[in-house]
């Protein structure tokens, strides 16, 4: 009887241990690939793909295989870039609260394994995108190169312009999605690029204000850590102002879209200006940060909604 009970106990313990390992693996994978960044970029890639279908009068259903290749390839390239960022930043990540739990810091995944997985993910993603169009693959590689080499390895630790440099990589997802359908691109595709490029600076500068001490401790020269909050506030407002005319370059999406996008811009600008009158800079930065996330989601959802009558035909 004792042997039976011991065996049953061992089976239960082994099962619990297996579950713990699976949970840990999934948590490590999510952290390594920065799934939040991957998912948000895929949303933008989808919008670019969808609008390309709309403007070329193509059928979404007829291009379902291209769509799957585009999304899978983009996800792998973006994840590969994020893992390379984790791999390279292993020396400064322990200093920051939001990054000190990464598997590269805790050692739950070896750096050599992370590097191999990152390079393999990137390569596989680019190969998948080549089955759509070569232009889509080249644009994806450009974004990866900017993020990994020009941002992570070069400018991030040297210049306050690191945010602007990194914004080039964050602005390419809509171009990837569009180029997979229409390699010639379109004026609207470049406007989407500009929206993403300009949006990122207020978003990440707000985060930099929130995490100012951590960036200082890590030696990362983010704008607020080097020049202070007042200059950063002005920069945020200037970038938001630059978004104001962009909806009018997408007039082909209809008046309803222009009005709603303009209202979104005006709301963000109002919050931005309020920062010059608020005493609590961290509270203001959090308002800017949260609004920026909702802004991006609503803007691109509206683009899909106002063009939803055609692509499934």
Taking only the tens place, the pLDDT of each residue in 178-190 is 999 999 889 999 9
pLDDT 10s digits, 211-249: 999 999 889 999 999 999 999 999 999 999 999 999 999
Under the banding of pLDDT at 50, 70 and 90, the label for residue 313 is: very low
Predicted pLDDT of residue 6:
58
User: Model's pTM, two decimal places?
Assistant: 0.90
In a domain, 2, yes or no: no
63 close to 181: Cβ distance less than 8 angstroms: yes
In a domain, 5, yes or no: no
DSSP secondary structure code for residue 96 in this structure = S
CATH of the domain at 233: 1.10.600
In a domain, 19, yes or no: no
Segments in 34-63 forming alpha helices (H):
35-55
Predicted pLDDT of residue 111:
92
More confident residue, 260 or 18: 260
In a domain, 94, yes or no: yes
CA–CA dist 197, 170 (Å, integer): 7
pLDDT 10s digits, 56-108: 999 999 999 999 999 999 999 999 999 999 999 999 988 888 788 888 888 88
Query: Cα dihedral sign for 119, 29, 207, 100?
Result: negative
Q: Please give the tally of structural domains in the chain.
A: 1
Give the domain extent around 126. Answer: 35-306
Task: Say how many C-beta atoms besides its own lie within 10 A of residue 21's C-beta.
Answer: 10
pLDDT 10s digits, 243-254: 999 999 999 999
239, 89, 70, 172 alpha-carbon torsion, rounded to 10°: 20
In a domain, 27, yes or no: no
With a cut of 90, say whether residue 16 has pLDDT above it: no
- Among 43, 75, 70, 46, CA closest to 132: 70
In a domain, 67, yes or no: yes
């Amino acid at each position: 009887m004792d042997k039976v009970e011991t065996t049953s106990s061992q089976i239960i313990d082994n099962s619990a241990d297996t579950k713990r390992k699976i949970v840990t693996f999934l948590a490590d994978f999510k952290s390594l690939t920065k799934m939040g960044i991957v998912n948000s970029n895929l949303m933008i890639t989808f919008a670019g793909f969808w609008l390309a279908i709309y403007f070329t009068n193509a059928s979404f259903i007829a291009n379902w295989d291209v769509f799957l290749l585009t999304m899978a390839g983009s996800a792998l390239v973006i994840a590969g870039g994020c893992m390379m960022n984790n791999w390279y930043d292993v020396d400064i990540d322990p200093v920051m609260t939001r990054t000190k739990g990464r598997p590269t810091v805790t050692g739950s995944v070896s750096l050599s394994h992370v590097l191999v997985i990152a390079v393999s993910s990137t390569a596989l993603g680019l190969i998948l995108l080549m089955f759509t169009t070569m232009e889509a693959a080249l644009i994806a590689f450009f974004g990866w190169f900017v993020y990994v080499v020009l941002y992570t390895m070069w400018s991030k630790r040297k210049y306050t312009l690191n945010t602007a440099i990194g914004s080039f990589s964050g602005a390419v997802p809509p171009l990837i999605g569009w180029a997979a359908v229409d390699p010639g691109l379109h004026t609207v595709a470049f406007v989407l690029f500009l929206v993403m490029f300009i949006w990122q600076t207020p978003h990440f500068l707000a985060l930099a204000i929130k995490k100012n001490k951590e960036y200082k401790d890590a030696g990362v020269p983010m704008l607020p850590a080097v020049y202070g909050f007042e200059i950063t506030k002005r920069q945020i407002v200037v970038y938001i102002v630059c978004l104001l005319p962009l909806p009018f370059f997408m007039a082909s999406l209809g008046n309803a879209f222009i009005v709603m996008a303009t209202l979104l811009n005006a709301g963000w600008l109002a919050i931005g200006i309020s920062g010059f009158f608020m005493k609590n800079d961290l509270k203001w930065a959090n308002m800017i940060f949260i609004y920026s996330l909702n802004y991006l989601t609503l803007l691109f959802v509206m683009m899909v909604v106002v063009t939803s009558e055609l692509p499934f035909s």
